[in-house]
Amino acid sequence: MGHSLDTAAAKALLAAAFAEAEDDVRTGVRVPISPALDDAFACLFGSTTQAFREALVGCTLARALDPEIDIRCPYVNQSERAFSGRSLDERVVNPFLQEREVPCSKGPYLSVLRRNVRFEAETARGLRDRDAFEAMLALIAYLGAAEPDAVHGFLRRLLLEFITLREAASIPLMRVRRLNGDQLEALIAGLLATPSGGLLPMLLTVAGFHAIRQTYGLPWDVQYQGINVADAASGAGGDITIRAGSKVVFVVEVTERPIDRARILSTFNRKIALQSLTDYLFVYSGPGPDEEALATARQLFAQGHEISFLDAQVWLITTLKTLGSEGRTVFVDAFLDLFDRREVSATLKTRWNALIRSVST
């Protein structure tokens, strides 16, 4: 009895929708869902009962993978259109949430309910958390009548709510005693490939300069500003300023955006010329400078302003492989000091933990 579901397909669908939901959180997008459901989502995710919202993920996956399933029947012996919510939870949903460090239950599937119940109004009688269960029923009713595109949008919105829970939680960063050059190469490549609105390239670059300063005992003061702070407003010539006493050694702009002639001239007019900067460095994690940008930099060099360019990944990996194990340890410690702050999203911290597990095995 009941319908069986493809576990691999469920995992793939969940992973893809979760990645989309993480992008939604990062960009501030919210998938439009019927306004009437907003209160139901608020109630379900405001509840301390985790089992109901986790069961809803299984219902949504089942509805997306097989529209013939009756998602009100989470036990296969309930009808010919039922499905095994427990199998889906144990093999797909709960392991996935735990791996992504989303707050979730550690107990058996629907442990707050007696076995073999249906997701219907009669089940709510006598429940301690009746409001949350009824909120789940309202969302299941919407799912049962939704078109396929709407089901996918619902899953994305549902996972956004889980990610929002994670953002409010404290995600401890995995610490490592030491990493060799090859492990750091994989780690840096993974971090730079992670969408972060420019935050990860910035923090990696700052940590790189700290590692150079400490390893070689340089009299540098490495100052940087927040990722969303305008240089003009702060009075800084760039994202990072390296000073030795009162002297500016060089100024660094960390960028993911293309570097063309217009970008060079704009930076020169608004920053370099105004502050009489002689050494200016672009550290890029996106496209490098084009030919016109390089030609413009050469022209400005003749005027006494040296503008240089560094590929962030190549520079960091080359530098760290030549600093030795102590320098690499300084780099990791400096990065974690910068990274382990409240303003850094839980999504990025979870990404760090996943990469550490990957490079350490």
Q: Which two tokens stand for residue 352?
A: 């760090």
Domain that holds residue 70: 7-168
Contact between residue 202 and residue 227 where contact means Cβ atoms under 8 Å apart:
yes
What confidence score (pLDDT) does residue 249 get? Answer: 92
Residues 21 and 129 in one domain: yes
- What is residue 234's predicted lDDT score, i.e. its pLDDT? 45
Q: Looking at the domain assignment, is residue 142 inside a domain? A: yes
Type of residue numbered 242? I
> Looking at residue 228, what is its pLDDT?
52
Examine the domain organization and report whether 199 and 155 are in the same domain.
no
One domain for residues 196 and 138? no
Q: Would 173 be classed as within a structural domain?
A: no
The residue from 168, 194, 229 where one domain ends is 168
Asked whether residue 277 falls in the same domain as residue 339, the answer is: yes
Q: 112 and 162 in one domain?
A: yes
- Residue that is last in its domain, among 168, 195, 219: 168
| 176 falls within a domain | no
State whether 287 and 320 are in the same domain.
yes
Residue 233: the pLDDT is: 46
Torsions phi, psi of 249, nearest 5? Answer: -75, -55
Element of type H or E holding 48:
none
Write the CA distances from 289 to 128, 133, 285, integer angstroms: 62, 56, 11
In the chain, the number of structural domains is 2
Q: 126 φ, ψ to 5°?
A: 85, 0
For residue 1, being part of any structural domain is answered with no
CB 211 within 8 A of CB 330: yes
**Domain check: are 329 and 192 in the same one?**
yes
CATH number of the domain within which 302 lies: 3.40.1350
Write b or e for each residue in 44-64: b if 16 or more Cβ atoms lie within 10 A of its Cβ, otherwise e.
Answer: bbebebbbbbbbbbbbbbbbb
Q: Are the CB atoms for 44 and 53 separated by under 8 Å?
A: yes
Q: How far apart are CA 240 and CA 259, in angstroms?
A: 18
Do 124 and 230 belong together in one domain? no
Between strands 247-255 and 279-284, the pairing is parallel
Let me know if residue 338 belongs to a domain. yes
Ordered per-residue pLDDT tens for the chain, 361 residues: 678 899 999 999 999 999 999 999 988 888 778 888 999 999 999 999 999 999 999 999 999 999 999 999 999 889 999 999 999 999 999 999 999 999 998 888 888 887 888 999 988 887 889 999 999 999 999 999 999 889 999 999 999 999 999 999 889 999 887 888 899 999 999 999 999 989 999 999 999 999 999 999 999 999 998 655 555 444 557 899 999 998 999 999 999 999 999 999 999 998 888 888 889 999 999 999 999 999 999 998 888 889 999 999 999 999 999 999 999 999 999 999 999 998 899 999 999 999 999 998 7
Residue where one domain finishes, among candidates 168, 198, 219: 168
The answer on 121 and 188 residing in a single domain is no
- Contact in structure between 157 and 151 (CB atoms under 8 Å): no
Residues 219 and 324 in one domain: yes
Tell me if 103 sits within 8 A of 166, measured CB to CB.
yes
